[in-house]
Amino acid sequence: MTLLMVEGCLSLILFALAFSWPRIGNSIFTRIENAFRSLARRRGLSVLVVGLTAICLRLAMLPIIPIPLPFVPDDFSFLLAAQTFASGRLTNPTPAMWVHFETIHVTMVPTYMSMYFPAQGLVLAAAKVLTGQPWFGVLLMGALMCAALCWMLQAWLPAEWALLGGMIAVIRLALFSYWMNTYSGGGSVAALGGALVLGSLPRLTRTAKTRYAVLLALGMVLMGTTRPYESMLMTLPVAAYLLHWLWKGSNRPSAAKMMRIAVAPLLVLVAGASFLGYYDYRAFGHATTLPYTVDRAEYAMAPYYIWQQPRPEPLYRHEVMRHFYYVNELKGFQEVKDAVVAQTIVKGVRAFEFYAGILLLIPLIMVRRIFLDRRIRFLLLCVLILTAGMMIEIFFIPHYIAPFTAAFYAIGLQMMRHLRVWKPGGQPVGRGMVRMMMVACVLLAGMRVYAGPLHLRLAKWPPSAWADKWYGPDHFGTERAQADANLNALPGKQLAIVRYSSQHNPFDEWVYNAADIDGAKVVWAREMDTADNLKLLGYYKDRQVWLVQPDQQPVSITPYPKPMQP
């Protein structure tokens, strides 16, 4: 039985229980809720408690769910960026034997660097420099995200509901999701940025204080250096909100005060844009050449938006890369373009599965009231704009919409508030449902931690849909990590030449290297034709050479047979 099936069954049971005995455990729940409200009234302490809870619980689970290993292309790409930044460089020169090192989501020309925007790599690099372990950057960003969500919710909802939202985020996002258990995507960074923007906006328009303008600008920078397209979708309603305040707001500041308020956030925005422009210049050749652009032009056929046409097939030097860009991407593009509405619904289902699962869908029975609720009307507008933006975008992974995480939580919690006061037949059924949902969240978290002893099936390799599941991936990537460790333990420098079978899964990529390839203890390279292999062996003549065949069971690592001269 899978954990998702358990969640579905548990949701049905608790739904029925709340209808049958809505006052069950009333005295116990009342005491817990009173203590919860007492903490929630201390707003600053609540935010701190949420962040520390995320850190402490995830660290406590390390004996059971250890620090993750990189296992998908995005992981290795972001870790390349982290190692580069940690070395004091913005990028790396193209390696001499680069055709043997071509790999998914890594740019080789004009420089050797991750194809992604830099924020996630900078976070990982800072943690690597300070602690030696880049994953602690992921941990810290997850905790800051949850704390910022609580802070944002305090601006839109009563304090106790903001605290509840922060704790739900800890359980669903900071403990078990792939945002915490991989190095990919930067979901926590983008969600932190979105929470700062949406939390600062109402505070700024109520108080006209500079600190909220600065936090709003900082949130914009965090979003723009992780998910720029979705950040633009967020910026549109936020800009309209601010313009309306400046034009018709009852407490809008004077022109002179507005100029003073605007100086610091403008400096933040200019600094962020300047850094990104300089980074793009160094890594990709021009200040206006954004990350993704060079790599996609070199390797991809599928475009990002439905009105675009596929690119001609480029020259692929490696079949595994052609398989990724043709089979995994181009066919997905055709499916979306041929059924835009149906695929948009699929994207919505995947988003609900990640951000809410089954259990937290129960408050959707209050969805009609939400559209009549003025308190969160602006957040609903934000989500509607996001939906329109997602309809024209081809690909979807939950972290793409991470800037809107705070809006999702605010809307969901407001539905939960309406559900709590629902009394069909005069019975406090809604209150019982909300209480049972929170009990179920805690139970499901415990089941995830002890999924092994409970014989609950989790996502397995290959990772077909692990990103959508709230409980995240298992400990993948062990075989490559073990092979790399074994080669590193050998005396002298090593060259690992990888040979895949015709049935190899391109997501299980083994050819990833350090930022300084030539200086690395182990170099991973692709096997090519005899002439190219001889050039590779001649260049690395001081290294012991191994043939690595990942698709054999067990993985085969044997001395590389010296090719015959052509």
Distance of CA 91 to the CA centre of its chain: 23
The string over 235-251, giving b where at least 16 C-beta atoms fall within 10 Å of a residue's C-beta and e elsewhere, is bebbeebbeebeeeeee
Q: How deeply is 350 buried, as exposed, middle or buried, from its count of CB atoms within 10 A (0-12, 13-18, 19+)? A: middle
Angle between helix 159-169 and 43-60 (nearest 10): 20
- Bridge-based pairing of strands 544-549 and 494-498 is parallel
Angle at 325 between CA 554 and CA 483, to 5 degrees: 25
* Total residue length of the chain: 566
Residue 71: which of 488, 482, 558 has the closest Cα? 482
Q: What is the DSSP letter of 468?
A: G
CA torsion angle for 498, 98, 486, 138 (degrees, to 10)? -110
DSSP 8-class letter at 455 = T
**Nearest residue to 212 (alpha-carbon basis) of 221, 193, 199, 231:** 199
Give the C-alpha separation, 368 to 345, whole Å. Answer: 19
Domain ranges of the chain: 3-67+133-252+339-449, 478-559
Q: Are 302 and 394 in contact (CB under 8 A)?
A: yes
- Give the whole-angstrom CA distance, residue 441 versus residue 107: 42
**126/83 Cα distance (integer angstroms):** 10
Residue 305 is classified by DSSP as B
What residues pair up with 523 in beta bridges, in sequence order? 495
Q: Which residues contact 501 (CB under 8 A, 6 or more apart)?
A: 549, 551, 552
Rounded CA gap, 565 and 319, in Å?
A: 24
DSSP string for 174-200: IISSHHHHSS-TTHHHHHHHHHHHHHH
The pLDDT value recorded for residue 335 is 86
How many Cβ atoms are within 10 Å of 100's Cβ, its own excluded? Answer: 28
For β-strands 92-93 and 111-114, DSSP reports them as antiparallel
Beta carbons within 10 angstroms of residue 107's beta carbon: 27
- Our separate counts of H helices and E strands in the chain read 22, 7
SS3 at position 488: helix
CA distance 198 to 202: 7
Q: Which residue has the tokens 């909220």?
A: 212
- The token duo for 535 is 């050039």
Assigned token pair, 52:
């520390």
Distance CA 187, CA 286 (A): 27
pLDDT of residue 316: 94
Amino acid, single-letter form, for residue 316: Y
How far is Cα 99 from Cα 95, in angstroms, rounded to an integer?
A: 9
Beta carbons of 196 and 215 less than 8 angstroms apart: yes
Report the SS3 class of residue 111. strand
Q: Where are the alpha helices (DSSP H) in 41-174?
A: 43-60, 73-86, 119-131, 135-154, 159-169
Is-cis flag, bond preceding 118, omega within 30?
no
**The dihedral sign for the CA sequence 498, 501, 502, 508:** negative
Rounded to two decimals, what is the model's pTM? 0.94
pLDDT at 328: 84
pLDDT of residue 253: 85
Instruction: Give dist(CA 435, CA 430) in Å, integer.
Output: 9
Structural Rg of the chain based on CA atoms: 25
| pLDDT tens series, the chain, 566 aa | 677 788 888 888 888 888 888 888 899 999 999 999 999 999 999 999 999 999 999 999 999 889 999 988 999 999 999 999 999 999 999 999 999 999 999 999 999 999 999 999 999 999 999 999 999 999 999 999 999 999 999 999 999 999 999 999 999 999 989 999 999 878 999 999 999 999 999 999 999 999 999 999 999 999 999 999 999 999 999 999 999 998 887 778 888 888 899 999 999 999 999 999 999 999 999 999 999 999 999 999 999 999 999 999 999 999 999 999 998 899 888 888 888 888 889 899 889 889 988 888 889 999 999 988 889 999 999 999 999 999 999 999 999 999 999 999 999 999 999 999 999 988 999 999 999 999 989 988 888 887 777 777 665 555 555 555 555 566 788 999 999 999 999 999 999 999 999 889 888 999 999 999 999 999 999 999 999 999 999 999 999 999 999 999 999 999 999 776 65
Beta bridge partners of 496: 524, 546
Burial class (CB in 10 A: 0-12, 13-18, 19+), 434: buried
> What pLDDT score does 482 carry?
95
Tokens linked to 217: 């600008």
The three-class DSSP label of residue 254 is: coil
Transcribe 390-452 into DSSP letters: HHTB----GGGGGGGHHHHHHHHHHHHHHHHT--GGGS-HHHHHHHHHHHHHHHHHHHHHTTT
Query: How much of the chain is helix, strand and coil, in % rounded to 5?
Result: 60, 5, 30
